[in-house]
Structure 1
Amino acid sequence: MRLWQWAQLHPYESVGYGALLLLAALFARIVITLASAIAIIAGLWHIFRN
């Protein structure tokens, strides 16, 4: 079955999955941003400590 046919048959479920995907993407973006910030801070820490 095609995805849009499934979405027409299950509108509430497709909205729920869309919201979950959006939250997952947002969470991944926050994690990546935090990781890069920590890496930059650690790099600066090593530079200024020596």
Structure 2
Amino acid sequence: MRTPAVAVPGDLDPAELTRCMNDTGVRALPVVDEGALVGIVTLQDVLRTLPASGPS
């Protein structure tokens, strides 16, 4: 676990989430709203938001 813990707000866009994960070296971040934990977002969650690439 990282000290201090890194948490993100729920309205952060995927690009910012990816940047935060890269900057901190973590693949999962707690999501907080008004100081309360509301979920966890993972790198896999962020990748699912990207459009599929490949042959059409």
TM-score by length of 1: 0.26
More strand by share: 2
Structure with bigger RCO (C-alpha 8 Å, 6+ apart): 2
Instruction: Name the structure with the higher helix share.
Output: 1
